[in-house]
Amino acid sequence: MAGADIRQVVEEAPAKINLSLRVMGRRTDGYHELQSLVVFAHCGDRVMAEPADELTLVMRGPFAAALAGDPDNLVLHAARLLRERTGVKAGARLALEKNLPVASGIGGGSADAAATLRALVRLWGTDPGAAALREMALSLGADVPVCLDARPAMMSGIGEKIVRLATLPRFHLVLVNPGIALSTAEVFRGLSAPLLEGMPVAPTVPTFATLDELAAWLVGAANDLEAPARRLAPEVGTVLAALEASGECRLARMSGSGTTCFGVYAREMAARAAAATIAQAHPDWWTVACGVSDCG
């Protein structure tokens, strides 16, 4: 087999941040039509794969315990799906380093599944083709396709329509999670989105020459899930207030279905200072300052 001489493959699974998230309405099949500008942070989980006869998974890292009750998670689902669709007979010894909070609105599980697909394509030396890989990703979850290629993108539909952005102006993020998990389904139920009468027009893909232009656009492109998430977890408001009060924060917003929030900063030093201040005031929160892929 082409990949038989590979001893270990490592793939990063970066956090997916919804800079904006508009819910256009509810479809007749129960899914919601979305429009979202997403970026990928320089922090995340990590998937490692080694040759083996069977498919196995071990989990480690600061948030591994949160997945202990679900040993048959998306990583194994992705591995089994790829093996089934490609006819590969080999197994793999998989390890998931879980550095991101679980059920926190930053696509950790989706990123893990995408990283698993990428890792095993390399380990097994198989090539299902880009279209087949995207189809497998979508069958694993609506957010998995955009995580296959962790670059800025405008997502629409249920997440399957993806247009990559050539570049974004450079900026830095502070990510903060208060340690509360939210069910995506429960947050959407709290939104009570109206039934769509027709399919929405495809979003215009924006271009931004400066951070000022990006920040101005984001002001008019909110996260529609923030209000129902705050009703379920009022701590989201506390996190947003802490970010807004930090020095040089250009915008504070919740990502995805929550509860992780982010602040946008022009300078890396300002982001690091804000993260340090918030972490000192709230040592029980998960707080990290990081850059953004393909910006600048």
Residue of 16, 98, 112, 224 with catalytic role: 16
Give the bridge partners for 264, in sequence order. 173, 251
Place of tokens 């408001």: 237
Residue of 45, 98, 112, 143 with catalytic role: 143
Among 155, 213, 150, which Cα is nearest to 22's?
155
Phi, psi of 183 (to 5 degrees): -80, 125
The strand pair at 161-164 and 91-97 is best described as unpaired
Q: What is the DSSP letter of 101?
A: P
Q: What is the DSSP string of 6-29?
A: ---EEEEEEEEEES-BEEEEE-TT
Decide: residue 196, CB within 10 A, 0-12 exposed, 13-18 middle, 19+ buried.
middle
Query: Which two tokens mark 150?
Result: 């962790």
How far is it, in rounded angstroms, from Cα 55 to Cα 223?
38
- Give the DSSP H/E element, type plus range, for residue 271: helix 268-281
Report yes or no: 44 and 150 within 8 Å, Cβ to Cβ. Answer: no
How far is it, in rounded angstroms, from Cα 182 to Cα 73?
18
Query: Which two tokens mark 228?
Result: 């129902």
Query: Which two tokens mark 145?
Result: 């396709």
Place of tokens 């709290």: 190
89 in catalytic set: no
Place of tokens 């890292």: 61
The strand pair at 286-290 and 172-177 is best described as antiparallel
Give catalytic residues, as residue numbers. 16, 143
